[in-house]
Amino acid sequence: MTREEEIANRLLDVEERIAGAAHRAGRKREEIELIVVTKNFPQTDAQILYRLGIRAFGENRDQEGALKSEQLPGDIAWHFQGQIQGRKIKSIASWADSVHSLDSLDHARKFASVGESRVQNFFIQVNLEPERADRGGVRAEDLESLVEAVKMEAEIFPIGLMTVAPNGLEPERAFAQMSAIHKRVLNSFPTMTALSMGMSGDFEAAIAAGATHLRIGSSILGSRELPA
């Protein structure tokens, strides 16, 4: 089997599982966007995915995303989902169409001050395990004040929320928490309809809980040789 056949088969399998989970949840497949996470996979894999029709790619690192986006066709939406470093913001804004991991006013201000930013969509990342501040993301209780400040002071209007299910928590429980947080935030900010959650190990649970953006890598591309 060629690498292209392998990826095509895995992609088909993931697509079927997404459709099945959407159906079981009484949701439309079109409400759910699949972002294929190409981090740590070679350019050639991204090209295969492009030939297979994928137009949304996720990356965690600025340098890797910058390089891949330069070498692939221009009609791809690039999603940055890694932890943001202030000094990388100008560069991230030069290639990313969406940023899923915004979690501070300081970073929002820096994105806002980039002259020619490509970023169209921001998600606010929520940390569901506040005892682990190193994970990135804002605590649920600080969400509304952060969104308010980001809107007022950086004039950035986030389209929704993002999270990564904590390791120690069942995905169903984590996503139920997130769904409740999302509903609460929608009361104050009704345009923040997007919900980016669900990875290879838990995307069906995420769909059941209302995810609109899935970030899936290894189910489609296989296991990574390098750590994330």
Among 38, 60, 69, 127, binds ligand PLP (CB under 6 A): 60
User: Do 76 and 55 touch, CB atoms closer than 8 A?
Assistant: yes
The residues with which 122 forms a beta bridge, in sequence order, are 99
Among 69, 81, 98, 179, binds ligand PLP (CB under 6 A): 81
Q: Mark the segment that binds ligand PLP (CB under 6 A) among 6-14, 25-33, 170-178, 199-207.
A: 199-207
**90 token code pair:** 């100008």
Answer for which of 172, 173, 200, 222 binds ligand PLP (CB under 6 A) is 200
Structure tokens at 216: 């899936």
Q: Would you count residue 37 as binding ligand PLP (CB under 6 A)?
A: yes
Q: What is the DSSP letter of 167?
A: T
- By beta-carbon proximity to ligand PLP, the closer residue of 108 and 216 is 216
Conformational region of residue 225, where left means phi above 0, alpha means psi within -120 to 50, and beta covers everything else? alpha
Question: For the chain, what is the radius of gyration of the CA atoms?
Answer: 17
Query: Is 83 an interacting residue with respect to ligand PLP (CB under 6 A)?
Result: no
- Say if CB 204 and CB 165 are below 8 A apart: no
Residue whose CB is less far from ligand PLP, 12 or 152: 12
Binding site for ligand PLP (CB under 6 A): 37, 39, 60, 81, 164, 199-201, 215-219, 228
